[in-house]
Structure 1
Amino acid sequence: MGFFQLLMKKKELIPLVFFMTVAATGASSFAMYSLRKTDVILDRKRNPEPWETVDPTVPKKLITINQEWKPIEELQKVRRATR
């Protein structure tokens, strides 16, 4: 109960504690949200090349303007040669 007694004694710390609690909660929830997204890969052993399974028709940005995906022939040749 020492913490609450300190807050009652020094009331100017109450807003500071409130805003720090809100900031820590927001940062924690954003971190959990970011880890649940499909763009984040945590396991490198099961999926060593995650860029191979990305669907090019699904935009990964917040805003996409006039995006059309076409395979680049030079990259396809390099990809086939390295496999």
Structure 2
Amino acid sequence: MGFFQLLMKKKELIPLVAIMTFAASGASAFALYSFKKTDVIVDRKRNPEPWETVDPNVPQKLVTINQQWKPIEELQKVRKATK
């Protein structure tokens, strides 16, 4: 007995299967999206400070409205002093 034959026999399972399929595909898509982003730390040994390579001109959110980036003077001074 195949999966689709079981669904045709027990029609009350169709909404459950549809919702679970949608949730699993959404979770998988979000996981792939998260690993693609530069601000997610997956391997700290090869890149211990990944936030240093983030391009400030590229939005890091799903929806960005009127984002403008300006460097903070104090932070730039500290960064130059520690390097």
TM-score w.r.t. length of structure 2? 0.66
Cα 1:45/1:66, change in 2 over 3 Å? closer
- Whether 1:63 aligns to 2:64 is yes
Cα 1:33/1:58, change in 2 over 3 Å? closer
Q: Structure 1, unaligned stretches of length 5 or more?
A: none
Amino acid at match of 2:23: A
Cα 1:82/1:15, change in 2 over 3 Å? same
C-alpha RMSD of matched pairs (Å): 2.7
How many residue pairs align between the two structures?
A: 82
Amino acid at match of 1:65: N
Amino acid at match of 1:48: P
Q: Structure 2, unaligned stretches of length 5 or more?
A: none
Shift in Å, 1:49: 1.0
Identical pairs, percent: 76
Larger radius of gyration: 1
